[in-house]
Amino acid sequence: MRWQFWLGWFLKLALVGFVAFAIVAVYLDGRVRNKLGDRLWQAPAQVYARTLHLYPEMPLSPDDFQRELDLLGYRRGTTLQQPGDEVRQGNTFKIYRRAFSFEDGAANAQQLQVMISDQRIVALRDEKEKALDLAKLEPLSLGSMFTTSEDRVLVQLDGTPPLLTKTLMLVEDRDFYHHFGLSPRGVLRAMFANIRAGRNVQGGSTLTQQLVKNVFLSNERSYWRKVKEAVMSLLVEYHYSKGTILEAYLNEIYLGQEGPRPIHGFALASRHYFNRPIEELRSDQIAMLVGLVKGPSQYDPWRSPERAQARRDLVLKLMNEEGLIDAKEYGSAIKRDLGLAKASAADSLHPAYLDLVRRQLRRDYQERDLKIRGLRIFTAFDPLVQWHAERSLSRALTQLDPKEKGLEGAMVVTDIVSGEVVAMVGGRQMHYAGFNRALDAVRPMGSLVKPAVYLTALESKRYTLISKLDDTAVDIKVPGGRWQPKNYDKQFHGEVPLYFALAESYNAATAHLGMDLTVPKVLATIQRLGVERDMPVVPAVFLGAGELSPLEVAVMYQTIAAQGVSAGLRSIRTLTDSEGTPLARYPQKPMQAVSPAAIHVLQYAMQDVMQEGTGRAAKNVLPNFRVAGKTGTTDDLRDSWFAGFSGDYLSVVWMGRDDNKSTGLSGATGALKGWLGFMAETSHVPMSFDAPPGINYVWVDELTGLVSGEGCEHARYIPFIEGTEPTTVDGTCQPGGAVLQWFHKLF
């Protein structure tokens, strides 16, 4: 019969459909169990800045200490009630330090009192007024890395404020504990609520559906995606408890963007928007985060603050109506502004430094160690030094290029004692990931190479600081033509003392000196100073034809600043697993690459650069503060460089254009401005200049090079490597001082 025919076909099709559905369901079930099961406890590696150690007599300004507390999200108030609170009275700070698992062990929350006077900590006490020798603040979180696609800070359900979970279910899924992944009643309730409000105030998807969409599916709008979402939601509910699903949701939901970094989970969002742990959120902050679930882009508080506040206030109203907050709290919360912790979404990013950390991790650690769950990376990054570096470089670039016509810059700062990179600026857009000029702008280094030439001469012991160099025209035949370098001032100066040639950065004198030393010997010195990149084997290398990045220049100058000890530069201090156990790293042993005696003499000449030479502007900005450095300028004023150091920091600054056009800036008129601004604000320790063994100081006449005396005309107290000091005495002014000189002139 005909109906039997159609029934048979219907049953066959139903069977095929059932089998197909079963196959799809099995496939989707495998995805749910494998992918979601792994992700429930998947935590990316967390990267931290240095720990701020506080101790009496520590150099620290009240403004910088306040800045550190602000970066860590401490809340200013009148009393200390819970960790994360701060009370400031003038230059006395009372803080309730948060508990933290430091690289050397866990520490409980603690109340501290810090008194600052004359830019130093003068007293450090605990809550019982007992004096402390040392205390420390938890380090700033710089973010995470080695994630597959998402970033998050894991939070467990019992560590989440109950008000947050209750508000989330109130707004997004009131029937969460009563449905099996899908909620037709919730869809109807949301529809009527939205009609009554005249706008979309509630969603119809369950939290389980939203979790499935966030973890497994794209934003594609199709019936097939809806079917997969429904099936997978049922499977998730079948395999996992409600508590596990809610916890996964709290850690997975997408809540915004920080530059290129997606913000997943409420714990990370709490840091991103308010710079505080999730357990310290107020009711209005909880309302804003829950409101973001509906549309992180639509309600972005930086791009659309009025829309974000309206959404937050609507959530607060629902919280009050359902009894989650009382009328008093509602009245206070709705009057508050959004209370964002930074001026823009990307304001706290430090992409240049994280780029360095990422590269050094791959260099120094094995890949399997970097995949350990809960890995914590403690770096040397100093947020206060970084703030000053960004501020000084930005100020200099704005002054030199106010209309932003293409002038770019980069800065690398190292700690001279430890050899660690403590700050890095990769470009004018300092908080946005992109071309990292500090690491990847490989440019001709200009006169920054000259200290290596003069160091080679001093080590040879054929030259001293008062040796006469020939600053006359240079004409050398090279492949393809003639090499005829000119001085910056387009003049030649005849015979000049070696220290003066370096101070004034005379090209002709340096070229003559380099040719006498030979190219291979100078290149060998550059390598001993830590430069690994190949340099051109041509005479022009004496004047900076070799190309280096700012970081590579910092490696070279760090060796000079560290008395000739070469150890490379590091950004990472310690890696620990989730239990706090340090991971092994490849050792890198410091080595004495250059004799301390030769370095001491070179440092003397580099101080003269800052007093009498091309860096003489430092005298006005850093009076009575010993520093050493060198300017660098390349052909046609394309690159402006400065590298210099005090007793605590070395800083290298580069300015130039990405299109390699002329900037119109020399090292002194460009990069030096950024360097001086940074050192004036940040450095507290003048350069140490104790003579090492093998150095003899002698009073000499700087014009004749003969032994003179203190107080004699043209007398200069100059260091010599032992055995190279002059012995012939200037007959016009015997050693002994001004009295003898006066007596000699009188008769």
Cα gap 519→527, rounded to integer Å: 12
Is 447 considered catalytic here?
A: yes
The alpha-helical segments, DSSP class H, found in 112-206 are 162-172, 184-197
Is residue 136 within 8 A of residue 102, CB to CB? The reply is: yes
Angle, alpha carbons 85-88-93 (nearest 5°) = 80
Is residue 411 within 8 A of residue 424, CB to CB? The reply is: yes
Query: Could you tell me which residues come within 8 angstroms of residue 157 by beta carbon, excluding any fewer than 6 positions away?
Result: 165, 243, 246, 247, 250
H/E element holding 591? Answer: strand 591-592
Burial (Cβ within 10 Å: 0-12, 13-18, ≥19) of residue 367:
exposed
For every residue of 40-89, DSSP letters joined together read TT--PEEEE---EEE-TT-B--HHHHHHHHHHTTPEE-SS--STTEEEEE
Cα gap 398→147, rounded to integer Å: 36
CA neighbor of 633 nearest in space, from 414, 507, 421, 446? 446
Cα gap 167→152, rounded to integer Å: 21
Is 138 considered catalytic here?
A: no
Cα gap 357→73, rounded to integer Å: 24
CA neighbor of 655 nearest in space, from 667, 644, 643, 647? 667
Q: At residue 450, what is the residue type?
A: K
Cα gap 747→729, rounded to integer Å: 19
Indicate the length of the chain as a whole number: 747
Give how far Cα 559 sits from Cα of 342, 493, 527, 645, 648, Å: 38, 31, 11, 11, 14
Cα gap 176→566, rounded to integer Å: 62
- The helix/strand/coil state of 483 is strand
CA-based torsion, 453, 458, 459, 461: positive or negative: positive
Q: Which of 348, 447, 571, 646 is catalytic?
A: 447
Cα gap 254→215, rounded to integer Å: 10
Is residue 36 within 8 A of residue 214, CB to CB? The reply is: no
Q: Which two tokens stand for residue 113?
A: 């009192």
- The helix/strand/coil state of 572 is strand
The phi, psi pair for 717, rounded to 5°, reads -90, 110
Q: At what angle do helices 383-400 and 671-682 cross, to 10 degrees?
A: 150
Is residue 674 within 8 A of residue 457, CB to CB? The reply is: no
Q: Which of 68, 172, 390, 459 is catalytic?
A: 172
CA neighbor of 156 nearest in space, from 43, 296, 325, 274? 43
Q: How many helices (H) and strands (E) does the chain have?
A: 25, 30
- From first CA to last CA, the distance across the chain in angstroms is 146
Catalytic residue list? 172, 447
